[in-house]
Amino acid sequence: MTIKNTLKAALFGLTALGISAPAFADQLADIKAAGKIVTATDMHYSPFDMIIDGTYQGITKDIFDEVSKELGVEPLYQDIPWTAELPGLEVKKFDIIIAPVTITPERLERYAFSLPIADATVGLIRSANDTETKAPEDIKGKAVGVQQGTAQAAQLQMFGDKIGGITMKEYGTTDEAYADLATGRLQAVAGSLPNLAYLVKARSETFALLEPTTFGEPKYFAWAMRKDADSASFVEAINTALLKMTDDGRMKAIQEKWLGVNPVLPREVPQD
């Protein structure tokens, strides 16, 4: 008897005894039945997530609004500290993390990822009036800020070790690191290229990009979901919506609105 026929026979036997067969959970079906997707993000990570005049705005919101329309549900946006997001996802406090999460081999083992939504290559900024910190190697021996628990922090630490050591200071939000850079408590801040470029464009009198700005291997931002059988159809639906947005021009319009450029992003989830 095949496995398929054995399963059918077992289910028939349960029915004959008046016992209901176990229901198979499906996250996408549950979301559609509820009519909403519960999300988590850190709304202090411009230009992806930010509060402007009391309203949540940014690249992430614009993209996820469209994805939600494709799935036929309403998004529920929650502002949650980054350090609480991955643990919260694992215990099912929300359906998806839409705060930009850098794809890394270690995270790929534990979480399912959407297709990339942006470039996440790590770079550096300095104070606009700092004439000594010009290139990435110039941060040797200096105080450099970065957001706590991020892939950028890990890359900064490795780069610092490579060039002879830095004093790395970790912050709960990038805004806190930028504030200390502006007041001279730091000599540089590390972060993803889109975040840094947006900040310098908005506050060129205060901050400047190092040249070259980036170091390390190219990385990408994506959204994180649970990696289990229940979530497989949900992950597929998210990626199908993102590909549709790429092909019909909506992704391009959102990227250009916030960044002024339209980076070419992989159509598959990078595995390194």
- Per residue in 6-28, pLDDT tens? 444 444 444 444 444 345 589 99
For the chain, residues with pLDDT lower than 70 are 1-24
Q: Which pTM value belongs to this model?
A: 0.79
The confidence score (pLDDT) of residue 25 equals 84
DSSP H helical segments within the chain, as ranges? 3-16, 27-34, 59-71, 85-90, 105-110, 151-163, 174-182, 193-202, 232-248, 250-259
Q: What dihedral do alpha carbons 171, 175, 177, 182 form, nearest 10°?
A: -160
Superfamily of domain 122-214: Periplasmic binding protein-like II (3.40.190.10)
DSSP state of 216: S
List % helix, strand, coil for the chain (3-state, nearest 5): 45, 25, 35
What kind of fold does domain 27-118+221-259 have according to CATH? D-Maltodextrin-Binding Protein; domain 2 (3.40.190)
Domain spans, the chain: 27-118+221-259, 122-214
Q: Do domains 27-118+221-259 and 122-214 have the same CATH topology?
A: yes
- Per residue in 224-237, pLDDT tens? 999 999 999 999 99
